[in-house]
């Protein structure tokens, strides 16, 4: 039996987490006493593992400052979630899309730069956690575009690369998919431009959830 696996990025693909990420990153830089990067620069690193993202945003900072920024970001994000101030809304049509795919026999997974705690908290908040069979995060893998997350998701699902689709909003997702021979499908509602996704090798970029469902038929 052919196993069809759809692996989704989280921030910028399933949920719009840009406000949460930008707020936590600005708070982290303030805590460490460094000037915070502008929001467009912060959005560019969404999808990367946190230590890698920090190095991109503060290339001239000391290693000790990088460590403190990582810790401060995690603390700020946790505080926002604990206080009920964290906003990570689902994009339009995503809940229905996931339910449709699950009901039609697709195995669903996530590959994200979030932590285990952050991803499970996000999915649980939206009542979607039980739909996913494999969750791959930055806690156990190198940062995208390294293929480790997608390789493990395929191993968990016993899915072949040709029967696997990686869906994401950044060039990192597309490059990861191409590295393992999986389908690389971009979404236009996230943080990288459509042309960037196509240049990275996306077979197509969906304009909305309905178009994404058609691409997966």
How wide is the angle at C-alpha 53 spanned by C-alphas 185 and 154, nearest 5°?
40
CA distance 9 to 109: 9
Distances, alpha carbon 110 to alpha carbons 36, 43, 166, in Å: 29, 19, 9
| 92 counts as catalytic | no
| 9 counts as catalytic | yes
Residue with tokens 């997974």: 109
CA distance 118 to 86: 11
Computed over its alpha carbons, how large is the radius of gyration of the chain?
17
**Which residue among the candidates 11, 163, 169, 173 is catalytic per the annotation?**
11
CA distance 117 to 200: 30
**Which residue among the candidates 9, 16, 169, 173 is catalytic per the annotation?**
9
Instruction: Output phi, psi for 120, to 5 deg.
Output: -65, -40
Q: Which two tokens stand for residue 49?
A: 């593992």
Q: Which two tokens stand for residue 102?
A: 């699950």
CA distance 114 to 48: 8
Kindly list the catalytic residues. Answer: 9, 11
């Amino acid at each position: 039996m052919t196993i069809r696996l759809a692996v989704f990025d989280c921030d910028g693909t399933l949920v719009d987490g840009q406000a949460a990420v930008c707020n936590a990153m600005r708070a982290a830089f303030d805590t460490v006493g460094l000037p915070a990067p502008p929001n467009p620069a912060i959005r560019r690193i969404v999808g990367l593992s946190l230590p890698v993202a920090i190095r991109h945003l503060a290339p001239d900072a000391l290693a000790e400052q990088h460590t403190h920024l990582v810790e401060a970001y995690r603390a700020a994000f946790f505080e926002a979630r604990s206080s009920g101030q964290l906003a990570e809304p689902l994009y339009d049509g995503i809940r229905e899309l996931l339910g449709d795919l699950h009901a039609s026999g697709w195995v669903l997974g996530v590959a994200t730069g979030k932590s285990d705690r952050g991803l499970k908290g996000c999915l649980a908040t939206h009542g979607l956690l039980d739909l996913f069979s494999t969750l791959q995060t930055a806690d156990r893998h190198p940062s995208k575009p390294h293929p480790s997350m997608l390789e493990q998701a395929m191993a968990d699902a016993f899915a072949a690369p040709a029967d696997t689709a990686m869906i994401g909003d950044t060039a990192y997702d597309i490059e990861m998919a191409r590295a393992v021979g999986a389908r690389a499908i971009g979404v236009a509602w996230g943080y990288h431009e459509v042309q960037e996704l196509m240049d990275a090798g996306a077979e197509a970029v969906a304009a909305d959830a309905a178009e994404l469902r058609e691409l997966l038929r």
